[in-house]
Structure 1
Amino acid sequence: MTAAARAARLLSDKRWRGWMIQALALAGLTLVLGWLLSNLTENLARSGLGFSFDFLGRPTGYDINQRPIPYDAADTHLRAALVGAVNTMIVAVLACATATMLGVVGGVLRLSGSWIVARLMAVYVEAFRNVPLLIWIIVVFTVIANVLPAPSAFRGDDPAADMLLGLIAVTNRGVYVPLPVLAAVESQGWGWMVVLGVLAGSALLTRALGLWAARRQAVSGLRPRTWPAILAIWALPLAAALWALGLSWDLPALRGFNFVGGLQLRNSLIALWLALSLYTGAFIAENVRAGILAVDRGQAEAATALGLTPRRTMRVVILPQALRVIVPPLISAYLNVVKNSSLAVAVGYLDITGTLGGITLNQTGRALECVLLLMAFYLTVSLAISAVMNLYGRSVALPER
């Protein structure tokens, strides 16, 4: 067989031809990336910048208004980036939790038999889905800054009388709430790690109790009452741990022209949190509505025939089956919350985009390094969320043969 015949035979082989096309595509992509990297290295060397992350060890010289962990202007850019990352995660976790609750309630109420309730939920969903998030952030921030009272409004014989429950001050400079302090430990961080460990143990015990109740139900047909035990599992160990750690409260108090003490939740954080929650909750509401509609009507009819109330039917029959439809788009909603939190700079909330990708980038001129670190952060967080939610999605999916 001649060489031409062998070549023609190989080209007619679909598997070999597919491997060759993939190899050529990979080689072309490698050449393009190599050219880009070479061009980048040459331009950096020509400008005298090079490529280095040494700037992370230099002092920042700037302050951060919302500091969940200790920080001052003498700390390094790495510390500032860490503070920004924590700020990002705080608003992302709060927004995801609130948006989920709003979405579930909104999705269920959109299918309500009450015409007024269903229409109101439709107005909420359509209004927030069809207006850019940045506009809602600015609107919420403007309303908070102009509607809420100034700290001077709390002046009087008894400023605590104007506070919520005498403990919480809601002002146009932020919300001041009592701050828990663990007096028995020198490091607050280690003390709260102990508290988180206790909560994790309670979660494991609650899961074990739920599995035991499910096995009893499978055998006897009746599910034992578990809520008193669950309440004790969560409350008693937590109360004992906080008592042993010497829990006390730092209460906000009016001093001069502003409140001091306690924990200040700045307007920028609250505005970003509320706007993200309302915006994302509208999308989750549509996902929930689609999941409920995907459940066969016979399921609800069967539950009603068994004597279940509409509320219990929705909770134990409809929503568990709808989860297999709700969870996949819910993952995208959570990812969008994390990425949309980068709009925090619009209201002065310094997240990681505002610190590492904003002030640090401008001070050091290390645009490439800062952008790469930002990309790595968002990519890592997004992949972690996707992995956890995919595991949960597989646990609620229908088993296949």
Structure 2
Amino acid sequence: MPVNPAPGPQRPGIFRKALMWWGTRPLLQVFIIGFLVVSLYFLAVNVIESMRRIGVTPGFDFLNRAANFEIGESSIPFQAGDTYIRAIIVGLLNTLKVSVLGCVLATVLGVAVGVAGLSRNLLLATAVRWYVEIIRNTPLLLQLFFWISLTSAFPAPRQASAFLGSIYFTNRGVFIPGGSIDGLSVSGSTVFAGAIATFAAILFILKRSRALNITSTALSFTAVVVVVAAGLSFGGAQLNVDIPELTGFNIRGGSSLSPEFAALLTGLVVKFSAAIAEIVRAGIQSVNKGQWEAARSLGLHPGQIMRLVVLPQALRVITPLTTSSYLDLTKDSSLAVAIGYPELVSVINTTANTTGQSLEALMILIGTYLVINLSVSVLMNEYNRRVALRGNGR
């Protein structure tokens, strides 16, 4: 006999959805929202009137005016007389530079310290524990003052000794080897961009075919390097390696990191590597001991167990907490204003002081940090979703 399935629960109508959204006291919520809107309106009117009273025209027209100040360190050319919007872009690039490098280096150091903290070597584990506790319980601003004082205590370039034969720590900055590409033609640039696109396509195909591993990635990267080298040679380009050398009273060549940038980057990396180390330790310890025993029964050595079995499962615990560390690192880079590094907050502060547009400058600062942090959150949440799906797959 045919069986009629029981009807499922009916979906709520529009009126029911509205009641669910507003809750049990919709009139109270409407009153609160209306009160907030009216309060913000009167606040905005009073602020605009106060600005006009002191001779400040509200708006963002000041961004196209000339900025009569210099910026000590910039990733793009800037000089006094350029527009304020260009100055803000310079500060934004400086913030992004130290934030991206800080996240990468803090992750590498934090993972290494976290794994070392679980070592059976009592001396190593104790040293890691002291490192984590001292760094985590010391204010970041105090650490930045320590690092900037340490860079000031470095010898002058003439008395500096080469570390590893090509790295100089001086009171004028840290000098490291650099490289440049001379004579890169249009065809060479096209080949270079095509090689990057090819590498991305290979990784995508390998991932779709479930053949993505360290060996295949290394082979793909080697192939791309060969293609890039051939493309550069075909385009008439030449790769030059620039080694810093002591010449006269200064060091010439290579790339240099200013004392302020080096101190800020070191402070951020050391501070947040300790936090990430604790996250990694907790994530590893969250993996069931049976996973370790099963991996040992297969004949895997400890390095393989950690890389192939434990860390992939621990990522489901590590990733969400690491996202918070990345966001905190990006926001705490604003403390660079205390040691003289010209990042976004420093440039915005100078802009507000020279133009009088404090409210507009503050709005730009808040909006910029909001966009940066939301972008980081979206990327990390997407990665966390992929890790969680892969971990829960059958």
TM-score bracket for this pair, using the shorter chain length: 0.7 to 0.9
In the alignment, structure 1 residue 182 sits paired with structure 2 residue 181: yes
Determine the structure 2 residue equivalent to 1:230.
220
Summarize deviations over 1:350-390 as a string: whole Å, max 9, x none: 0111112x222211121111111111110000000000000
- Distance change in 2, residues 1:69/1:123 (3 Å): same
- Distance change in 2, residues 1:368/1:144 (3 Å): same
User: Is contact 2:191–2:228 with CA below 8 Å preserved after alignment?
Assistant: no
1:293-372 map, 5 Å: 293-356=285-348, 358-372=349-363
Comparing 253-262 and 365-374, the one that deviates more = 253-262
SS at 2:36 equivalent: helix
CA–CA distance in structure 1, aligned partners of residues 374 and 96 of structure 2 = 14
In the alignment, structure 1 residue 60 sits paired with structure 2 residue 70: no
CA–CA distance in structure 2, aligned partners of residues 247 and 224 of structure 1 = 28
User: Is contact 1:213–1:224 with CA below 8 Å preserved after alignment?
Assistant: no
Identity %: 39
Amino acid at match of 1:180: G
User: Is contact 1:182–1:191 with CA below 8 Å preserved after alignment?
Assistant: no
CA–CA distance in structure 1, aligned partners of residues 283 and 240 of structure 2 = 45
CA–CA distance in structure 1, aligned partners of residues 374 and 190 of structure 2 = 25
User: Is contact 2:67–2:84 with CA below 8 Å preserved after alignment?
Assistant: yes
CA–CA distance in structure 1, aligned partners of residues 23 and 278 of structure 2 = 46
In the alignment, structure 1 residue 284 sits paired with structure 2 residue 284: no
Determine the structure 1 residue equivalent to 2:384.
393
Comparing 224-233 and 385-394, the one that deviates more = 224-233
Q: How many residues align?
A: 372
CA–CA distance in structure 2, aligned partners of residues 109 and 232 of structure 1 = 31
Determine the structure 2 residue equivalent to 1:173.
172
Summarize deviations over 1:5-47 as a string: whole Å, max 9, x none: xxxxxxxx98773333332222122122112112212212222
Comparing 121-130 and 16-25, the one that deviates more = 16-25
Q: How far did residue 345 of structure 1 move?
A: 1.5
SS at 2:284 equivalent: helix
Q: How far did residue 262 of structure 1 move?
A: 3.5
1:206-221 map, 5 Å: 206-214=203-211
User: Is contact 1:107–1:289 with CA below 8 Å preserved after alignment?
Assistant: yes
Q: How far did residue 54 of structure 1 move?
A: 1.9
In the alignment, structure 1 residue 149 sits paired with structure 2 residue 146: no
State the TM-score, normalized to the length of structure 1: 0.84
Q: How far did residue 186 of structure 1 move?
A: 8.3
User: Is contact 1:84–1:353 with CA below 8 Å preserved after alignment?
Assistant: yes
Summarize deviations over 1:285-332 as a string: whole Å, max 9, x none: 111111111111111111111111111101111110011111111111
Within the candidate set 171, 180, 205, 2:202 is matched to 205
State the TM-score, normalized to the length of structure 2: 0.86
Amino acid at match of 2:376: I
SS at 1:226 equivalent: helix
User: Is contact 2:295–2:309 with CA below 8 Å preserved after alignment?
Assistant: yes
In the alignment, structure 1 residue 139 sits paired with structure 2 residue 151: no
Summarize deviations over 1:231-272 as a string: whole Å, max 9, x none: 413422333344434333455454543234443210111111
Amino acid at match of 2:136: R
Within the candidate set 370, 378, 381, 1:379 is matched to 370
User: Is contact 1:95–1:277 with CA below 8 Å preserved after alignment?
Assistant: yes
- Distance change in 2, residues 1:74/1:42 (3 Å): closer
- Distance change in 2, residues 1:309/1:178 (3 Å): closer
1:106-121 map, 5 Å: 106-121=113-128
CA–CA distance in structure 2, aligned partners of residues 16 and 288 of structure 1 = 41
SS at 1:180 equivalent: strand
CA–CA distance in structure 1, aligned partners of residues 51 and 34 of structure 2 = 26
- Distance change in 2, residues 1:379/1:193 (3 Å): farther
Alignment gaps of 5+ in structure 1: 1-12, 155-161, 216-222
Q: How far did residue 80 of structure 1 move?
A: 1.1
SS at 2:174 equivalent: strand
CA–CA distance in structure 1, aligned partners of residues 356 and 83 of structure 2 = 15
CA–CA distance in structure 1, aligned partners of residues 188 and 47 of structure 2 = 47
CA–CA distance in structure 1, aligned partners of residues 351 and 274 of structure 2 = 35
CA–CA distance in structure 1, aligned partners of residues 34 and 320 of structure 2 = 35
Within the candidate set 252, 257, 266, 1:274 is matched to 266
Determine the structure 2 residue equivalent to 1:28.
35
Comparing 193-202 and 115-124, the one that deviates more = 193-202
Q: How far did residue 336 of structure 1 move?
A: 0.7
- Distance change in 2, residues 1:195/1:362 (3 Å): farther
Amino acid at match of 1:212: S
Q: How far did residue 227 of structure 1 move?
A: 5.4
CA–CA distance in structure 1, aligned partners of residues 206 and 71 of structure 2 = 44
- Distance change in 2, residues 1:112/1:66 (3 Å): same
User: Is contact 1:292–1:322 with CA below 8 Å preserved after alignment?
Assistant: yes
